[in-house]
Amino acid sequence: MSGQNRSDVKVGAAVKVILKADQRTGKLTEGIVARILTKSSCHPHGIKVMLADGQVGRVQEIVG
């Protein structure tokens, strides 16, 4: 499932995000959603979230 729709992303879900620093390489970081930062219902580059460890990135894939 892609992370473009805010309704699909839930706090506590395992996701793969792309961090701002990794946008050129496309490296994905896996983590647990702590907060959803994007207010709009959808975003073409992925919903921006804060992971449990404090990193911020855009959801590329929802793992579980």
pLDDT tens for each residue of 10-52: 999 999 999 999 999 999 999 999 999 999 999 999 999 999 9
The Cα–Cα gap between 34 and 16 comes to: 13
For 32, residues 6+ apart whose C-beta sits below 8 A from its C-beta are 12, 13, 14, 15, 51, 52
Number of Cα atoms under 13 Å in the Cβ half of residue 26: 0
Q: What is the pLDDT of residue 45?
A: 95
Q: Does domain 6-62 have CATH number 2.60.40?
A: no
User: Quick check: 2 pLDDT over 90?
Assistant: no
User: Quick check: 64 pLDDT over 90?
Assistant: no
pTM for the structure as a whole: 0.91
**Which of 28, 62, 34, 38 has the alpha carbon at shortest distance from 50?**
34
The Cα–Cα gap between 35 and 47 comes to: 11
